[in-house]
Structure 1
Amino acid sequence: MTQKNPHQIGIQVETEYVESQSTPRTNRYVFSYTITIRNDGTETARLLNRHWVISDANGKVQEVRGEGVVGEQPRLGPGESFRYTSGTILDTPAGSMQGSYDMVDSQGNHFDATIPPFSLARPGSLH
């Protein structure tokens, strides 16, 4: 019998180019991303901190660290999810993001939930 991992956090990402806030002539490309964090484990978990690595098409890398997400530190029981939308600005019409969430379970054990790399791209900028 296999035992379910107590720390199993699923992350889904949807991205969108925000044309109304972007000004390509000044190399300003605005993207929004909506993330759904789901606790597929057996322990309640709370998101404490975020760490992002944001890369543009020129190889410029920004690292962002901070408490919670959108001003919250959501607590997720098994089977619960939390969804939020945020954004970033790039100097190029395409780039990528990846990172991790610093989580803590109800026993006080810290663990990282990995955010797999995802693309940011203005429509028509990638082949």
Structure 2
Amino acid sequence: MPASLELPGLKVHLDNLVYRHGGEQLPPDKPHAFIYFLTIRNDSDRIVTLLGRKWIIEHADGTRLVVEGDKIVGETPTLASGEHFSYNSYHVGHCDARATGSFHGVDEDGQRIYVRIPAFDMTIPRG
């Protein structure tokens, strides 16, 4: 099987990061929620279908969480050149963390492709 290609022109942008603390919906051992809003933009010359994702969360206490799976918020978006897909999701934790990862899929010829998620910090507000 051919290697996966990091497709030039396929980009991920963090549009917004929202912090929430506590409340009934967060477990006591993970009282910090970070809601992230991302846009995946296809400025390549190929049609791509995104099939899944891999997130790497490195916590300030040295622990690491790797989350891999099919689909992106339940979808497999197909993007022609110039199109984008925006969504939001969240991470709950117990300390500051740094997130990075990638989305993977295929282009119109069946070539496996991926795009890196730029690293971003999930910092608990102090004070």
TM category (shorter chain) comes to 0.7 to 0.9
Q: CA deviation at 1:111?
A: 1.3
Query: Aligned-pair RMSD on alpha carbons?
Result: 2.2
Q: Distance in 2 between matches of 1:105 and 1:18?
A: 37
TM-score normalised by L of structure 1: 0.84
CA gap 1:9/1:18 in 2 versus in 1, 3 angstroms: same
The runs of 5 or more residues in structure 2 that have no matched partner are 1-5
> Alpha-carbon deviations, 1:46-99, whole Å to 9, x = none?
11110000111101100000111110010011000000000011121x111000
Q: Which runs of 4+ in 1 moved over 6 A?
A: 22-25
Letter in 2 for 1:113: V
Alignment of 1:63-82 (within 5 A): 63-82=66-85
The size of the alignment, in residue pairs, is 120
**Greater share of residues in helix:** 1
Judging changes above 3 Å, is the alpha-carbon distance between structure 1 residues 79 and 67 closer, same or farther for their aligned structure 2 residues? same
Distance (Å, rounded) in 1 between the aligned partners of 2:83 and 2:47? 9
Distance change >3 Å, CA 76–CA 23, structure 1 → 2:
closer
Q: Matched residues in 2 for 1:28 and 1:20: separation?
A: 5
Query: Offset at 1:34?
Result: 0.6
Q: Could you tell me whether the CA contact under 8 Å between 1:50 and 1:66 is conserved in 2?
A: yes
Name the % identity. 31
Counterpart mapping for 1:82-93 below 5 A: 82-92=85-95
